[in-house]
Amino acid sequence: MRSAFLLLLHFACQSAFSQTTKNVAHNSNAWFMYFGNHKLSSKWGLHLEAQLRRSDFVSNPQQLLLRGGVNYYVNSQVFFTAGYAFIESYPYGEQPSKSSFPENRIWEQVQIKTQLQRFEWISRFRLEQRFVQQPVETTPGVYEPGESIYTNRMRIFNRLSIPFKGKIIMDKSAYFTMYDEIMWNWGKNTGPNLLDQNRLYAAFGYAFPIVGRLELGYLLQSIFKSDGIRVEQNHTFQLGLFSNINFYRKK
């Protein structure tokens, strides 16, 4: 049932892309990322995240993203998170914004981890309440962040990872991983195009003892602009550290 639903999402995304390819821009970017999920007790923990995103590979800024949250662990496979994120976006690429602008974001998610023989499957469903200050023209030819506009977005993420040796990914394991994430806008202040982004990722990783997993990979980020006409295809190098350092010790 879940596999059929994911296939439906994939075809819906491809259909939306085919309808919005009137003006496609191609950019080369690089993202440097830290993701941390750190237990503080048997049930509670912290999510800490920082991403430095660069355009023209590494020459110019694209985005700065800082995200934090509180995790509640149902068991070893399922946890919920709620938190806050701050994002600063900069003009970049062939379809740049008129100026840099900030976004404040509240978010909630559930994440599920399943072992399918040698495959590690992580599914995530996230809701976001976004307060975006898009650039507005304050004087002729001068643009500055405007008033906050509230929008909603939902995100569905699925990742499969497989070790090169052994049945599961353990310390000192090398592995291959790939994921797809689809994002939709919904509610008030949504443009004619509800599909917001699709992210397709593949990478090689290594699980370091204590520190966490380090991944080097490639992301194809497709951004469907709200006007329903412009599309970005961002070819993105990624270097990410995924840390699960446990600050909780059972007595």
pLDDT at 165 over 80: yes
What element of type H or E holds 109?
Answer: strand 101-116
Residue 239, pLDDT score: 98
- Classify residue 121 by burial, with Cβ atoms within 10 Å: 0-12, 13-18, 19+: middle
Closest CA to 101 of 49, 61, 140, 57: 61
Please tell me the predicted confidence (pLDDT) of residue 247. 86
Answer whether residue 146 shows pLDDT above 50: yes
pTM: 0.88
Exposure b/e, 29-59, CB count within 10 A at least 16 = b: bbbebebbbebeeeeebbbbbebbbbbeeee
Rounded CA-CA distance 88/76 in Å is 34
Arithmetic mean of pLDDT over the chain: 91
Reported as a single tens digit per residue, the pLDDT across 166-225 is 999 999 999 999 999 999 999 888 877 789 999 999 999 999 999 999 999 999 999 998
Cα 194 → chain centroid: 17
Q: What is the pLDDT of residues 58-95, one digit of tens each?
A: 999 999 999 999 999 999 999 999 999 999 999 999 99
Tell me the percentage of the chain whose pLDDT exceeds 90: 81
Tell me the per-residue pLDDT of 132-141, one tens digit each, with 9 for 90 and over: 999 999 989 8
- Cα separations (Å) of 68 from 6, 106, 107, 233? 28, 10, 10, 28
Q: Where are the domains of the chain?
A: 2-243
Query: Could you tell me the fold of the domain covering 2-243?
Result: Porin (2.40.160)
CA distance 83 to 48: 10
Confidence at residue 227, expressed as pLDDT on a 0 to 100 scale:
80
How much is the pLDDT for 145?
95
Radius of gyration of the chain (CA): 19
